[in-house]
Amino acid sequence: MCESTLFAKFVNLKITLLKGKTVIITGGSSGIGKACAFKFATEGANVVISGRNSSNLEIAFQELLKISPNILAVNSDVSEYEDCKKIIDASINRFGHIDVLINNAGISMRGLFADTNMEVLKKVVAINFWGTVYCSKLALPFILQSKGSIVGISSIAGKKGLPGRTAYSASKFAMEGFLETLRTENLKTGIHVLVACPGFTASGIRNSSMGPDGIPQNESPRDESGMMSAATVADHIYIAVIHRKRDLILTFNGKITVWLNKFFPSLMDKIVFNHMAKEPGSPFK
């Protein structure tokens, strides 16, 4: 059999794996979520995106319709249980089943814990952690039926606490603990649970990151030009879902941070502190 024929069969197999499958992506109107929506739609899946910003959601929806008619957009805030229920109900009403849930919706913050408004801390945890819990709880019966996948888009901040990002790190540590437990509970049910840690990505999350008073920064304190793109992250997440991987840690810095923190945690405290202190406008020195 010639090489071109083998390649064509491989491509067809990839498409068959997702054709007709329903993939929900929270926070799917921008950044990594939007990139995942394009990737999975391109690979033949029914794609459901959710987002709080109705304008951004509509733009993403119209762009995705150019790829596939099997797109659904649900305006919702995942920190609200009833909004999460709206996502799941709308997905079932439109497509009849759920095969992959990608818990991507997230928000960050930047500020010393001592200076940060309590409402900022609550908001970050509500979206990043409780949004994952709510959507996973509501989607679980359908994921069990399809023996599908639950994905959490975490962060290296969920492996190593980042100074100036207390609520963000806490929410990601909590997300990972929740998903690890969910995976263990379902060792014999056939469902797949993936924790994906992209590392520093050019996703726009730092632009919307809140300061200690809750006001968005509106610009990134980092040069994002050399960071991994959201599209590249989406490619890795797609492959990890297809191969039902347990964990996904991206970027060299992300991998070395996790490895060093495992064996030299005190050293990593100093390295991370010094690294974060070099950010323009850093809240600590």
CA distance 90 to 85: 8
Contact 160, 254 (CB under 8 A): no
Give Dmax over CA atoms of the chain in angstroms.
66
| 134 in active site | no
Strand partners, 238: none
Instruction: Give the helix, strand, coil percentages of the chain, each rounded to 5.
Output: 50, 15, 35
**Which residue is catalytic, options 81, 134, 168, 238?**
168
Q: Cα 166–75–202 angle (5° rounding)?
A: 45
What is the sign of the dihedral through the CA atoms of 64, 65, 68 and 71?
Answer: positive
Distance CA(133)–CA(127), nearest Å, equals: 10
Whether 207 contacts 216, CB under 8 Å:
yes
Sheet holding 46-51, edge to edge: 71-75, 46-51, 22-25, 100-103, 149-153, 192-197, 247-249
Find, among 201, 197, 207, the residue nearest to 230 by Cα. Answer: 201
CA dihedral 168, 170, 173, 178 (to 10 degrees): -110
- Residue 285, helix vs strand vs coil: coil
| Residues noted as catalytic | 168
